[in-house]
């Protein structure tokens, strides 16, 4: 855990609080429809598949594959101390896609469809960000 994290931190709202609370527990939490069982991300009150409002939060596996990525070289305010980093769209095992980062994979080894697993980055005492790393299991 770092006391010196200075980059912008996402602020949970009513719809995303359970996601960020789960991240602090090192669990990837997603909304799931209690009627048709579809997982969804981002969270929203009504199921986009069957329109049900009967919803629960469930723990996802944390596994997925890299759907798309880019290597960011531009130094945006707040990120100027970062070297090139990978921003990514990860297709989760449960189906939804999440925008995140891939960490710990060299630029010449990152590739679409590579297996990934969630990595819970405790950036401050009360904030954990969900990133992904190579899943070698």
Least gap, CB of 34 to Zn ion (angstroms):
8
Least gap, CB of 47 to Zn ion (angstroms):
3
Nearer to Zn ion, 57 or 85 (CB): 57
Length of the chain measured in residues: 137
Least gap, CB of 31 to Zn ion (angstroms):
10
Positive or negative: CA dihedral 99, 72, 4, 134: positive
Q: How many residues bind Zn ion (CB under 5 A)?
A: 8
Nearer to Zn ion, 6 or 52 (CB): 52
Phi and psi angles of residue 81, each rounded to the nearest 5 degrees, phi first? -90, -5
Nearer to Zn ion, 34 or 59 (CB): 34
The single residue listed with the structure tokens 């969270």 is 43
Residues 28-87 that bind Zn ion (CB under 5 A): 33, 35-36, 38, 47, 49-50, 52
Hey, which residues does 127 pair with through a beta bridge? 124
Establish if 99 lies at the interface with Zn ion (CB under 5 A).
Answer: no
Q: Which two tokens stand for residue 29?
A: 């939490």
CA distances from 32 to 36, 54, 111, 125 (A): 9, 9, 29, 28
List of residues contacting Zn ion (CB under 5 A): 33, 35-36, 38, 47, 49-50, 52
């Amino acid at each position: 855990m770092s006391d010196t994290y200075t980059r912008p931190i996402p602020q949970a709202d009513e719809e995303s609080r359970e996601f960020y609370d789960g991240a602090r527990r090192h669990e990837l939490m997603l909304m799931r429809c209690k009627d048709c069982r579809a997982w969804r991300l981002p969270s929203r009150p009504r199921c986009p598949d069957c329109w049900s409002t009967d919803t629960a939060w469930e723990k996802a596996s944390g596994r997925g594959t890299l759907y798309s990525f880019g290597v960011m070289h531009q130094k945006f305010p707040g990120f100027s101390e970062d070297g090139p980093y990978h921003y990514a769209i990860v297709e989760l095992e449960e189906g939804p896609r999440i925008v995140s980062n891939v960490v710990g994979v060299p630029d010449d080894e990152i590739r679409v469809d590579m297996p990934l697993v969630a990595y819970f980055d405790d950036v401050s005492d009360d904030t954990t960000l969900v990133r992904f790393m190579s899943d070698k299991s």
